[in-house]
Amino acid sequence: MSFTNPRVQRLRRLLGRRSSRSEEGALVIEGPVMVAEAIAAGWAVEAQFTAPGVEPVTTGAATPVARLAPGVAERVSDLESPTGLFAVVARPSRDAAATLAAASFVVVADRIAEPGNLGTIIRSAEAAGADAVVVTPGTVDETNPKVVRASAGALFHVPVVPAGLADVAAAGLRVIATSSHRGVAHTAFDWSGRVAVVAGNEAAGVDPAEPAITDWVRIEHHGRAESLNVAMATTVLCFEVARDRPD
């Protein structure tokens, strides 16, 4: 397939436009490891596209494979060294209210702007056993290719749903906001019960006037740094929640 082929142009749109991914309910993932993760998680692969000399990932089903002409993969991908393998996958439909109602441990990404931060938050949430990740309005799109890569496949294994903090509170979860300077030390906090840990925007943090918040926690630290990177702070808290909860 040449670069001007309509299917190749669709790949570009899905990689580059949030609106296209939302309208089609699909996204593009790159590389054999990520494609294999999506398949293992049960995500439906619509088609795979391979550069010359690159083989598709076996899906266990009859999945169409399109061969790209030389040089096309490099023009489609935003990676410096493209893997030469793309897959269009359908995003599973998830009911946010039902997901929250069934969850006991949720991580909330509240207006997170940087794709790398959101991807790391999703990765840490999944690794710590969170039941879901919530993305509030104003948060970077979780299907952004940079988010998908930073999640290291975790995006395919933990439900990520859009909701507001009021929705999280309405589901009966304690909404616990993080701060660099206020609240109980995270090691002294009672993490029992159904909890939602809120990580706020990189510059503004969590709105201190947000009515849905029930508690504040802080990570005590030494040295000159005023605060931790939001993804790193969320990782610390995720594993503190996991440590403090029964298996």
28 pairs with which residues across the strands?
88
Q: What is the DSSP letter of 68?
A: P
Amino acid at 238: C
pLDDT of residue 181: 79
Alpha-carbon span 122 to 117, nearest angstrom: 9
115-127 helix and 230-244 helix, angle to the nearest 10 degrees: 10
- Separation in Å, CA 155 to CA 8, 207, 216: 24, 26, 27
Alpha-carbon span 65 to 87, nearest angstrom: 9
Tokens of 160: 């990520």
Tokens of 246: 């029964």
3-state secondary structure 103-142: CCEEEEEECCCCHHHHHHHHHHHHHCCCCEEEECCCCCCC
Alpha-carbon span 108 to 245, nearest angstrom: 18
pLDDT of residue 244: 73
pTM (whole model) above 0.85: yes
- Report, as ranges of residue numbers, the positions in the chain whose pLDDT lies below 50: none
pLDDT of residue 246: 63
pLDDT of residue 125: 98
pLDDT of residue 118: 98
pLDDT of residue 247: 59
pLDDT, tens digit, 9 for 90 and up, residues 162-187: 999 999 999 999 999 988 778 899 99
SS3 (DSSP) at 78: coil
